[in-house]
């Protein structure tokens, strides 16, 4: 698994990462600011719409209260006209005595002369009292009524509880005025959400308030309606607007990080490959220099010359194998594909041991358990090179140990096992490292992985301090199979 690099490594390997991140961050900040402005604008719009709706309700309530008072005054004036026409002054007295909101009824003729209470007679005490209290309002209402014939006009205010409110109407030249007590009207007003104009009252916490001023007879008051503001849905719209952008930007940043990790991983693999290749080349190059020098010193000894020449040839072959393995590991799939051929795996093992034995096997010959004597079609080249690489790896890292080489055939696979004499050969695998993390075990095993994958097979190393096992599985091909490579 590729490790996450530190920030210094990021800056060193990708100087454009910070500018790219800044280019991603700046549009995000701009979008966030625009989104906040949108949320505020949406919030203000929602609040204004709701306030307008509540104001309409308050205005309707205020209009209803004034209309109710006007309708009641119209009914009383109509009743007064009827009583005065049929029963005269006594009928009017019976009317205002029977209606608690009425203090007095005053009637004027077309000339503006008061005809009730009669001016020629001494009025009752109550009539004289209310005439005196309402003289000014009565005169004002009489004048206003002449300018608004057939309509009821009001003069007075509920805040002055001592002076009756006057309602007048001119119809057919006759002016009828009602002097109304303020208490009944205040009682009606008390049942509604009213407040006195000019007072600075605040709504309950979490509520808003709209006001609708009232006309006469409730002048000086306003209908106050409290309501709970509707939460703005701007945040939801902002989420729908910014969500895909944020996700897309996050995905781009994630892909950028993945690409950066891939670059760093490739760099680490290249450096590890160079280190391993340098390590691999030291031994054969040292042997070449040593035996070349010995060959020069003992050029007269034919036996030694032949032995030294054989060693030099073996080391040259070893160098060639190192170069081939490096190309395989570095350029995946770069090696040419070869068609599977019909061969006997056991004979291939024997041929490899005969050809490379002196250079690959140190002192003790391997123990052979070969059970693949049947001729089958498989990738012989891959089989042979993996066997050579594993034997060379054993020569370098566990010299002198006894090896066990096993071959067997399954229904569709050729299996090659190579293990040392450690307990792992008998007790099974202990640890299976990934081939990209096998630093210290040479290029050969990395090349084995690549070659096995190219051939459609699998190479599994199982390495413990007590022993190791390497298993190669190659597919068996039908007779008509052609060259196949798995990149």
pLDDT in tens, 285-311: 877 888 788 888 888 888 888 888 887
pLDDT in tens, 157-197: 777 778 889 999 998 889 999 999 888 877 776 777 777 77
- Rounded to whole angstroms, how far apart are CA atoms 246 and 249? 5
pLDDT for 10: 45
pLDDT in tens, 117-128: 887 665 677 788
Q: 155: which strand partners?
A: 166
Q: What's this model's pTM, rounded to 2 decimal places?
A: 0.44
Other beta carbons within 10 Å of 412: 9
Q: Considering only CA atoms, which of 223, 179, 192 is closest in space to residue 73?
A: 179
Radius of gyration of the chain (CA): 55
Q: 378: which strand partners?
A: 341
* Pairing of the two strands 467-475 and 458-464: antiparallel
Tell which phi-psi region holds residue 421, choosing left (phi > 0), alpha (psi between -120 and 50) or beta. Answer: alpha
pLDDT in tens, 43-102: 788 888 888 998 898 888 888 888 888 898 899 999 999 998 898 888 888 888 888 888
- Label residue 363 exposed, middle or buried (CB < 10 Å: 0-12, 13-18, 19+): exposed
For 259, the enclosing helix (H) or strand (E) is: helix 234-297
Q: What tokens were used for 128?
A: 């004289």
Domains of the chain: 17-189 (3.30.450.30), 234-324 (1.10.287), 331-475 (3.30.565.10)
Q: Considering only CA atoms, which of 414, 427, 395 is closest in space to residue 471?
A: 414
């Amino acid at each position: 698994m590729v490790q996450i690099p530190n920030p210094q490594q990021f800056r060193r390997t990708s100087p454009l990462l910070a500018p790219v991140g800044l280019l991603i961050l700046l549009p995000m900040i701009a979008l966030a600011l625009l989104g906040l402005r949108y949320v505020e604008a949406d919030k203000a719009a929602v609040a204004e719409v709701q306030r307008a709706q509540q104001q309409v309700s308050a205005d309707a309530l205020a209009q209803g209260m004034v209309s109710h008072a006007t309708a009641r005054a119209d009914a009383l004036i109509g009743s007064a006209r009827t009583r005065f026409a049929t029963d005269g002054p006594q009928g009017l007295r019976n009317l205002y005595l029977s209606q608690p909101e009425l203090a007095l009824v005053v009637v004027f003729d077309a000339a503006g002369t008061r005809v009730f209470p009669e001016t020629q007679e001494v009025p009752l005490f109550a009539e004289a009292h209310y005439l005196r209290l309402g003289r000014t309002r009565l005169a004002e209402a009489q004048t206003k009524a002449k300018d608004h014939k057939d309509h009821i006009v009001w003069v007075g205010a509920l805040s002055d509880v001592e002076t009756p409110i006057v309602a007048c109407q001119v119809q057919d030249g006759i002016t009828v005025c009602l002097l109304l007590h303020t208490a009944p009207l205040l009682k009606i007003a008390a049942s509604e959400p009213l407040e006195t104009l000019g007072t600075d009252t605040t709504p309950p916490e979490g509520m808003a308030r709209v006001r609708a001023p009232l006309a006469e007879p409730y002048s000086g008051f306003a209908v106050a309606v409290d309501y709970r503001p509707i939460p703005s849905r701007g945040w939801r719209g902002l989420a729908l607007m910014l969500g895909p952008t944020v996700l897309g930007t996050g995905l781009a940043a994630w892909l950028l990080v993945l690409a950066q990790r891939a670059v760093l991983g490739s760099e680490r693999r290249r450096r590890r490959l160079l280190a391993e290749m340098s390590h691999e080349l030291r031994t054969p190059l040292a042997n070449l220099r040593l035996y070349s020098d010995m060959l020069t010193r003992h050029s007269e000894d034919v036996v030694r010359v032949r032995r030294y020449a054989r060693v030099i040839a073996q080391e040259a072959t070893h160098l060639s194998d190192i170069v081939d393995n490096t190309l395989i590991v570095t350029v995946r799939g770069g090696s040419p594909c070869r068609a599977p051929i019909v061969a006997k795996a056991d004979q291939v093992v024997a041929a490899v041991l005969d050809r490379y034995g002196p250079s690959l096997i140190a002192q003790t010959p391997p123990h052979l358990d070969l059970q693949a004597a049947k001729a089958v079609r498989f990738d012989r080249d891959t089989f042979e090179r993996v066997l050579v690489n594993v034997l060379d790896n054993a020569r370098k890292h566990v010299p002198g140990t006894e090896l066990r080489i096993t071959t067997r055939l399954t229904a569709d696979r050729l299996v090659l096992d190579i293990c040392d004499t450690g307990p792992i050969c008998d007790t099974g695998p202990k640890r299976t490292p990934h081939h990209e993390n096998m630093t210290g075990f040479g290029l050969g095993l990395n090349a084995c992985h690549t070659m096995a994958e190219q051939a459609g097979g699998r190479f599994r190393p199982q390495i413990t301090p007590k022993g190791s096992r390497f298993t190669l599985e190659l597919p068996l091909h039908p007779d008509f199979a052609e060259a196949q490579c798995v990149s």
